[in-house]
Amino acid sequence: MRKRTMTLAVAVAAAGIGVVTVVPSSAAPAAPAAARTVEQPRASAAPVPSRIAVHFDLTKGQMPENVAVGPDGTAYVTFAAARQVAAVTPSGGTRILATLPAPADGGVNTPVLAFALTTGIVRMSDGTLYFLYASGDAASTGLYRLRPGRAPHRIAALPADGLPNGLAFDAEAKRFYLTDSVLGTISTVPLEGGRAEVWSSAPELAAAGFLGANGIKVRADAVWATNLDQGTLLRIPLRHGRPGPVRVAATGLVGIDDFAFVGAGDRQVIATLNGPNTVVSIDAAGRSRTLMTAANGLQNPTAVAVRGRTVYVLSAAYTTGVDPNLALATLPLR
């Protein structure tokens, strides 16, 4: 399984979801042309204190793709290639909560990636988890609910010719927002489930050769998203539930995958740059500063969450093929 998974996943880190474009393992992935043309100099910063908290098992497909953190510090993660959802305790224990069945074709019809994978995840205050599954199969691709002690249940079907990736929840509107990295869209699904509706298909969400819209959050009356191919962080204002004009909040972020806000506002973002093996901080002016690199143990970082001053960073090792892990870093006092 490892050989097949790593072959399929080589493209993932090149761009940044934790998914894939096949390039020879000896070749450095090229940045998309659009991202290269807008790339800004990235200021270095003093490395934040960090440690590798958990090492995952690559031979079992434990390539962590996304994360949600509980109030006790437990990290709820999706293991992409294993099609799993797991809980990682603060002490480092890993418990598998659910494994989704592979489609009949094994997942080879999953767009772009050719393997079925679990992607975005959200945790509710009662412990219920919601997550996305992309399989290339109309019978299984969709948004799933996983209540504690129960089996996962699909609450919304999603297009089998797309790649549902990032997932966010708007508590006020009681609906989910999700990105599709192949179709270049953001869709909504009601909390109780039902029909998914395309909310935005703005050109800023489109792919430019590999994967487009990726990470997503709802913050300060806006939907924020990343575009992996274009290397951008986007802000889309919420106007009575409908999308306003897209603003490019930051550029030059080659391989940007997931992101998280620091504090209650939207003035500082922490983002993972998958292929470059980097975590950066982005300020309100769109300037980025490097916080973590491969020297901190990063191996294709796919996801980030912030809880207080603690930063949770998942590395999937899609192209490094060595050490998928969970790193914990501490932000400096402001």
pLDDT exceeds 80 at position 72: yes
Q: Rounded to an integer, what distance in angstroms lies between the CA atom of residue 78 and that of residue 63? A: 8
List the structure tokens of 253: 């972020």
| Mean pLDDT, the chain, whole residue set | 88
Residues in the chain, how many? Answer: 334
Amino acid 33: pLDDT: 28
Confidence bin at 16 (pLDDT 50/70/90): very low
269: which DSSP letter?
E
Confidence bin at 164 (pLDDT 50/70/90): very high
287: which DSSP letter?
-
Residue type present at position 10 = V
Confidence bin at 333 (pLDDT 50/70/90): confident
CA distances from 140 to 100, 120, 164 (A): 9, 15, 12
Residue with tokens 């039902």: 194
List the structure tokens of 105: 């074709």
pLDDT exceeds 90 at position 155: yes
Residue 135 makes CB contacts below 8 A (sequence gap 6+) with 100, 102, 103, 107, 110, 116, 117, 141, 160
pTM of the model: 0.88
Read off the pLDDT of each residue in 20-29 and give the average, rounded to a whole number: 27
> Picking from 20-29, 154-163, 235-244, which range would have the lowest pLDDT averaged per residue?
20-29
pLDDT exceeds 70 at position 10: no
Query: Using one digit for the tens of pLDDT, what is the confidence trace for 250-287?
Result: 999 999 999 999 999 999 999 999 999 999 999 999 99
Amino acid 47: pLDDT: 75
Query: Using one digit for the tens of pLDDT, what is the confidence trace for 123-146?
Result: 999 999 999 999 999 999 999 999
Q: Report CA torsion sign: 253, 259, 264, 266.
A: positive
Amino acid 19: pLDDT: 35
